[in-house]
A and B are shown apart, each in its own frame.
Chain A
C-alpha cells in the first residue's frame, strides 16, 4: 500500500535552533501533503497543506515564518521549525492524499525543545 516515511521519529533540540522534519512518499507521487501537530491527550490539529511546486496554505493561527514548509518534489515535503522554543515541543505528523480519496500518514516526529 501507499507508504509515507517520516524522519526523524524523535528529535531533541536546544531552544533557538531550527529542526527539519522530512516526509517522503515511498511508492506513489504525493501531489498534496499535510502537516499536523498533536499535543498530549489532544487531537491532531492541521497546520498547513502543501502542494508540490507551490506555496503552502497555512491554517489560521499558524505562523508561516516559523513553520517553513517545502514541497519541491512529488515525493518529499519538509517542515522546518525555526527558532524553536519549548512550547513548540509536540508530536508532528505528516500526511499525503491518495488518488482514491484516501490519506496515508507518517509515523510522526516527537520534538522536544530544551
Chain B
C-alpha cells in the first residue's frame, strides 16, 4: 500500500547469521513485488523480485517469500556480511495494468561484527 513515511525500524544481525526482513502490503491486487537495497545517499538497488503467481524465489544469497493469504513478503539474506548494511525496501505494483510501484516503509539492517 502507500508508504506513510514512518521512521525506519532497525534489524541488528550478527555477521554470518541469516537476516529476515519483513514487509506487509495492503493491496490484494498487487501482482509484482520487488526488494531494493539503498545505501546512504544513493538510489535504490534491485535485489530480487517475485510475481504474484509464485510464493518463493531464490537468488544469490537471497530468497524472497510471498504469502498472498496474509499479504506478507519477506527477504532472507544468508550469511549476512558487512556489505549488506543498508536500508531495505519492498515495493509493489498495484496490477498488471499499472506501471508505477509503491514503496513500503523500509528496514535498516545493521551488522554486528
Digitize A66-85: 1 where CB-to-B-CB distance is under 8 Å, 0 elsewhere: 00000000000000000000
Tell me if A110 is interfacial: C-beta within 8 Å of chain B.
yes
Tell me if A43 is interfacial: C-beta within 8 Å of chain B.
yes
Tell me if A44 is interfacial: C-beta within 8 Å of chain B.
yes
Question: B58 to chain A: closest CB distance in Å?
Answer: 17
Report yes or no: B99 in contact with A97, Cβ–Cβ below 8 A. Answer: yes
The dominant DSSP class at the B interface is loop
| B11-19, B37-45, B60-68, B73-81: which lies at the interface | B37-45
- Whole-angstrom CA separation of A106 from B44 in the bound complex: 8
- Check A44/B103 contact, CB under 8 A, given A105-B43, A110-B41: yes
Q: Which B residues touch A103, using CB under 8 A?
A: 34, 46, 101
Candidates B7, B32, B102, B104; contact of A46 at CB < 8 Å = B102
Tell me if A107 is interfacial: C-beta within 8 Å of chain B.
yes
Tell me if B8 is interfacial: C-beta within 8 Å of chain A.
yes
Report yes or no: B49 in contact with A43, Cβ–Cβ below 8 A. Answer: no
The tally of residues in A whose CB lies under 8 Å from a CB in B reads 24
Candidates A43, A46, A93, A101; contact of B43 at CB < 8 Å = A93
- Whole-angstrom CA separation of A97 from B97 in the bound complex: 13
Q: Which B residues touch A6, using CB under 8 A?
A: 43
- Whole-angstrom CA separation of A36 from B34 in the bound complex: 16
24 CB contacts below 8 A, A to B, read A32-B99, A41-B7, A41-B8, A42-B3, A42-B5, A42-B106, A43-B5, A43-B103, A43-B104, A43-B105, A44-B3, A44-B103, A46-B100, A46-B101, A49-B99, A91-B41, A93-B43, A102-B34, A102-B49, A103-B101, A105-B45, A106-B43, A108-B43, A110-B41
Q: Which 6 A-B pairs have the closest CB atoms?
A: A105-B43, A43-B3, A44-B103, A42-B5, A43-B103, A107-B43
List residues of A whose CB falls within 8 A of some B CB: 6, 32, 34, 36, 39, 41-46, 49, 91, 93, 97, 101-108, 110
